[in-house]
């Protein structure tokens, strides 16, 4: 016997309809490529999204067509989030930090029909416009006057069928009804970083996206509400900005978009001027922010919490935010293949009476699975390890917003690598404690195997990052004639500091098993970062593949 409840599809457009109706006057603030601060509301955003949906139809965009963006975080990008997906097409957020060859490969693989771009990326678009196979229209996300004034004519001439965003919006009215369709219809497309081959597409559905937004907003997840002012530093071209543009509509929060100003000074100014209460980004971004506020003896007047994910957050950063600036860090973990949210490190009631040291130990973990994500750790034979085990193993996940197969079957079906029960192998090595808190000990490709025993590189990086003279640290495996592999620490020093190899290695004493201590330290000017701000250890391994460790 079935229940007797209404069957309304979970569609992304419903989030915008809700925001317009119940939070229409709530503000959306953007730092634009035009150089100014732009202010709008959910009501106006909904109006312009409907106009853009009509403009897309006029351009010949059909349901399931892919519409690409090369854009910063801003109100126009958010309008496209809803206009494209809401009309039944698929929003494809391209990463503008990729090499032009990769942009061409991904655009061709996705078969993008229209590509929208911020004027910042005009040189990139000019470099790829003559090489893509399917893009029919190129739309610069500004008005024609700003384009004419700020873009070199010879560069503009390289782009065929170039249109201006504001012209498209102005030409339409907002008499448009969002269509209704199956909630399993594809809504958006993101590509993996491609560190082990060509990037692979992850195709999200309306259902998966709305369910993910529900879970992300929960109190023990990102804890978002209508009283919040949220500034997503995480790019809208990176896994849908961790769902915050959808969560904003769902709860009616004020949204503050930083545009291209991701340096510490620019971010701090927006935090203060717009009363930001919550932000989100990767550790490398927060290093720049912390350096700015520390150098200028500043404090945060409204920001109370930040979500840090993308890579493991160093415990020293968690302490700095909490002890110096009163900002609570929510350590989170996920993947492009997971939409991306998997875990958030929110406290349980039992932690209220614990010491600050005990609470910091909890916060260093990636956290508990949000409802909708099931996870387990298995050993090398595929046997499940119990919660509370001190043994690390391969982390597997499953849930309604987790990848079943890659777009067009590229890379194969990931589920065939699991136990047949629908578990996705994350590629992370982890352990889960008795309270359900998961801790990543390494990526499977980054684990160091020394004399048959595993050494986790993340633990060694976190200790190095706690040293006051260290700005960034990466630990990789270096070949060793006796032990097969040993840890090599690659370090960027903070400006104006003195630090020797011996001083840093001595810093490890008493913090880990002695045999885990890195064999050597190499100081460099910079550690390569990927398009999403993560350290590229694959490039470091290539750079130091012939490095000879000290034999003494």
64-120 confidence digits (pLDDT tens): 999 999 999 999 999 999 999 999 999 999 999 888 988 999 999 999 999 999 999
pLDDT band at 126 (very low <50, low <70, confident <90, very high): very high
Lowest mean pLDDT among 1-15, 220-234, 349-363, 402-416: 402-416
Annotated catalytic residue, options 132, 192, 306, 426: 192
CA distance 473 to 311: 13
Q: What angle do CA 315, 309, 380 make, to 5 degrees?
A: 85
Residue partners of 183: CB distance under 8 A and separation at least 6:
9, 10, 11, 205, 206, 207, 210
Q: What local confidence, expressed as pLDDT, does residue 381 receive?
A: 87
Please say whether the beta carbons of 236 and 281 come within 8 A.
no
Residue partners of 137: CB distance under 8 A and separation at least 6:
59, 113, 114, 115, 161, 163
Please say whether the beta carbons of 384 and 453 come within 8 A.
no
pLDDT tens figures, 16-64: 999 999 999 999 999 999 999 999 999 999 999 999 999 999 999 999 9
> Residue-wise over 354-374: b if at least 16 C-beta within 10 A, else e?
eeeeeebebbbbbbbbbebbe
Annotated catalytic residue, options 172, 183, 337, 485: 337
Q: What local confidence, expressed as pLDDT, does residue 419 receive?
A: 54
Cα 136 to chain centroid distance, Å, stands at 29
Annotated catalytic residue, options 324, 449, 453, 542: 449
Q: Average pLDDT of 148-152?
A: 94
Q: Does pLDDT of 494 surpass 70?
A: yes
Annotated catalytic residue, options 454, 497, 515, 542: 454
pLDDT band at 415 (very low <50, low <70, confident <90, very high): low
Q: What local confidence, expressed as pLDDT, does residue 413 receive?
A: 62
Lowest mean pLDDT among 303-307, 369-373, 463-467: 463-467
pLDDT band at 194 (very low <50, low <70, confident <90, very high): low
Q: Does pLDDT of 284 surpass 80?
A: yes
Ramachandran angles phi, psi of 368, nearest 5°: -95, 150
CA distance 160 to 451: 59
Percent of the chain with pLDDT over 70: 96
Q: Average pLDDT of 195-202?
A: 76
pLDDT band at 541 (very low <50, low <70, confident <90, very high): confident
Strands 448-450 and 229-232: what pairing? unpaired
Please say whether the beta carbons of 113 and 67 come within 8 A.
yes
277 flagged as catalytic:
no
| Cβ-based burial of 31 (10 A; exposed 0-12, middle 13-18, buried ≥19) | buried
Lowest mean pLDDT among 348-357, 445-454, 516-525: 445-454
192 flagged as catalytic:
yes
């Amino acid at each position: 016997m079935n229940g007797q409840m209404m069957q309304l599809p979970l569609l992304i457009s419903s989030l915008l309809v809700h925001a317009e109706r119940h939070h229409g006057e709530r503000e959306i603030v953007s730092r634009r490529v035009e150089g100014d601060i732009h202010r709008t509301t959910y009501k106006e955003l909904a109006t312009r999204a409907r106009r853009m949906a009509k403009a897309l139809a006029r351009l010949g965009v059909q349901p399931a067509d892919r519409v690409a963006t090369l854009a910063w975080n801003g109100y126009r990008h958010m309008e496209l989030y809803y206009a494209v997906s809401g009309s039944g097409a698929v929003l494809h957020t391209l990463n503008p930090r990729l090499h032009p060859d990769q942009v061409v490969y991904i655009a061709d693989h996705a078969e993008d029909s229209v590509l929208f771009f911020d004027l910042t990326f005009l040189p990139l678009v000019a470099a790829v416009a003559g090489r893509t196979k399917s893009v029919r229209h190129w739309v610069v996300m500004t008005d024609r006057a700003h384009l004419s004034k700020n873009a070199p004519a010879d560069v503009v001439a390289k782009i065929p069928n170039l249109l201006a965003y504001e012209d498209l919006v102005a030409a339409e009215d907002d008499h448009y009804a969002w269509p209704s369709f199956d909630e399993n219809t594809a809504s958006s497309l993101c590509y993996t970083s491609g560190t082990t081959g060509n990037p692979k597409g992850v195709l999200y559905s309306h259902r998966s996206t709305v369910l993910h937004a529900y879970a992300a907003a929960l109190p023990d997840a990102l804890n978002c509400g209508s009283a919040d002012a949220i500034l997503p530093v995480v790019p809208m071209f990176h896994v849908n900005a961790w769902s915050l543009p959808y969560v904003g509509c769902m709860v009616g929060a004020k949204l503050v978009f930083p545009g291209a100003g991701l340096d510490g000074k620019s971010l701090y100014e927006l935090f203060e001027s717009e009363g930001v209460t919550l932000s989100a980004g990767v550790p490398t971004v927060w290093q720049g922010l912390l350096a700015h506020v520390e150098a200028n003896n500043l404090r945060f007047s409204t920001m109370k919490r930040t979500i840090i994910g993308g890579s493991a957050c160093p415990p020293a950063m968690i302490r700095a935010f909490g002890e110096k600036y009163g900002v609570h860090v929510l350590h989170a973990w996920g993947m492009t293949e997971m939409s991306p949210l998997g875990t958030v490190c929110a406290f349980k009631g039992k932690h209220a009476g614990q010491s600050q040291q005990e609470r910091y130990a909890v916060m260093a973990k990636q956290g508990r699975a949000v409802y909708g994500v099931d996870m387990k750790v298995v050993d090398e034979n595929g046997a499940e390890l119990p919660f509370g085990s001190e043994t690390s193993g391969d982390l597997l996940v499953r849930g309604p917003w987790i990848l079943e197969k890659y777009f067009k079957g590229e890379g194969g079906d990931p589920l065939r690598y699991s136990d047949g029960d629908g578990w996705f192998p994350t590629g992370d090595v982890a352990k889960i404690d008795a309270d359900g808190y998961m801790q990543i000990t390494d990526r499977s490709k980054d684990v160091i195997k020394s004399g048959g025993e595993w050494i986790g590189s993340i633990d060694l990086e976190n200790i190095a990052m706690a040293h006051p003279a260290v700005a960034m640290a990466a630990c990789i495996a270096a070949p060793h004639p006796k032990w097969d592999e040993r840890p090599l620490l690659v370090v960027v020093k903070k400006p104006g500091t003195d630090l020797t190899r011996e001083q840093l290695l001595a810093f490890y004493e008493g913090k880990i098993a002695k045999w885990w201590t890195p064999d050597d330290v190499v100081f460099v000017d910079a550690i390569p970062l990927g398009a999403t701000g993560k350290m590229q250890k694959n490039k470091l391994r290539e750079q130091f593949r012939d490095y000879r460790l000290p034999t003494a």
